[in-house]
Amino acid sequence: MASGDPLVLGIETSCDETGVALVRGNELLFDAVASSMDEHARYGGIIPEVASRAHLEAMVPTIERALAESGCTLAQVDAVAVTAGPGLVGPLTIGASAAKSLALALDRPLYGVNHVIGHAAVDQLVHGEFPERVMALVVSGGHSSLLLVDDVATSVTELGSTLDDAAGEAFDKVGRLLGLPYPGGPHIDRLARQGDPTAIRFPRGLTARKDQAAHADDFSFSGLKTAVARWVETRVDAGEEVPVADVAASFAESVADVLTAKTIAACHRHDVGTLVVGGGFSANSQLREMAAARCAEAGIELRIPPIRFCTDNGAMIAALGSAVVRAGVAPSDLSIGVDSSMPLTTVSV
């Protein structure tokens, strides 16, 4: 290892972004991202084969750009971290193959780390080391997870998750329902700011008293999505105009209400005074505003990284890799596979 904190190169390829970053300690030197989102937009969703081919084409140029912009060389890299899961198998395999090749060629340790936990760990690059215990709400197109983090490198407990659609997934489906381009999240967010969030009272999944015993920390947005579809269908069948902005605002309000209410309650139950929110959906303005207001009211410190760290990126993997290396965790074997459904209790493999 080099003197001081190790220089960690992180590679992220769980879905459609090829992310490469260099981190030393909690300092981000550079983060390079190449996205294939435009190639998927015409299909209305992610096509794994298209994403895999895009990663193959982007990997070397993205690594070269990260090194050039950071002023570092491969010889200076002390460890290589890569997303080992969860995610799409094809894209994960491309990233893992690249990371293994680098680790082998450079004779450096390899660390296969958890993508979802990376979404929380990236906040340390912005706001510094986590306190002794934090609550992490990770929300994206594929995940709505509530994590109790005692040590981001070694001790993460999954308290709850989505039982069906994740928050971002529900936004994309409602976006299609309203005739909005893919991905639907940003478009619904924009429209919601123009609408009335109290215009329509959509359901709040798993918040009834009967659900609290078994699912206090879990989320469900499939019923909400169906409720929106039925409400819109009823208006269309009656020949009435659909107030798209009000539908978007009321739908977004329901999602943000459930996410923040359940998370604040979990913070109280576990006596946690700091909440970290991460993942692609944490860019949503309603969620950010409601989380800020409710955390302030509850006396909980809220940490949300800038929007550029919310979507998938190499910085989150390098940040988690840096934490794992500094904690003295044993490196991964070069024979490790990828795990599309990696459990959230596994920080590194």
pLDDT digits (tens, 9 = 90+) for 155-196: 999 999 999 999 999 999 999 999 999 889 999 999 999 999
What lies within 8 Å, CB to CB, of 227 at 6+ separation is 202, 203
pLDDT at 143 over 90: no
Percent of the chain beyond pLDDT 70?
Answer: 99
Percent of the chain beyond pLDDT 90?
Answer: 91
Q: Mean per-residue pLDDT for 134-146?
A: 93
pTM of the model as a whole:
0.94
What pLDDT, in 10s, does the model give residues 87-117? 999 999 999 999 999 999 999 999 999 999 9
Domain ranges of the chain: 7-122+313-326, 132-307
**E-strand stretches of the chain:** 7-12, 17-24, 27-35, 79-85, 110-114, 134-139, 144-151, 155-160, 274-278, 301-303
φ and ψ at 217, to 5 degrees?
Answer: -110, 10
Q: How far is CA 186 from CA 27, 143, 170, 189, 286, in A?
A: 29, 17, 13, 5, 11
Whole-angstrom Cα distance, residue 112 to residue 97?
Answer: 11
Q: Is 59 helix (H, G, I), strand (E, B) or coil?
A: helix
Question: Tokens at residue 101, please?
Answer: 């090749």
Q: How far is CA 305 from CA 193, 278, 302, in A?
A: 21, 7, 10
Contacts of 55-62 spanning 24+ positions with Cβ under 8 A: 55/13, 55/18, 55/91, 55/94, 55/95, 56/94, 58/18, 58/34, 59/11, 59/13, 59/18, 59/94, 59/95, 59/98, 61/34, 62/18, 62/19, 62/20, 62/32, 62/33, 62/34
pLDDT at 1 over 70: no
Nearest by Cα to 59 from 12, 15, 104 = 12
pLDDT at 2 over 60: no
Contact status, residue 32 vs residue 62, Cβ threshold 8 Å: yes
pLDDT at 38 over 80: no
Whole-angstrom Cα distance, residue 218 to residue 320?
Answer: 25
CATH of 7-122+313-326, picked from 3.30.420.40, 1.20.1090.10, 3.30.300.30, 3.40.50.2300, is 3.30.420.40
CATH architecture of 132-307: 2-Layer Sandwich (3.30)
What pLDDT, in 10s, does the model give residues 220-279? 999 999 999 999 999 999 999 999 999 999 999 999 999 999 999 999 999 999 999 999
Contact status, residue 138 vs residue 145, Cβ threshold 8 Å: yes
pLDDT on residue 142: 84
How many C-alpha atoms does 107 have within 13 Å on its Cβ side? 1
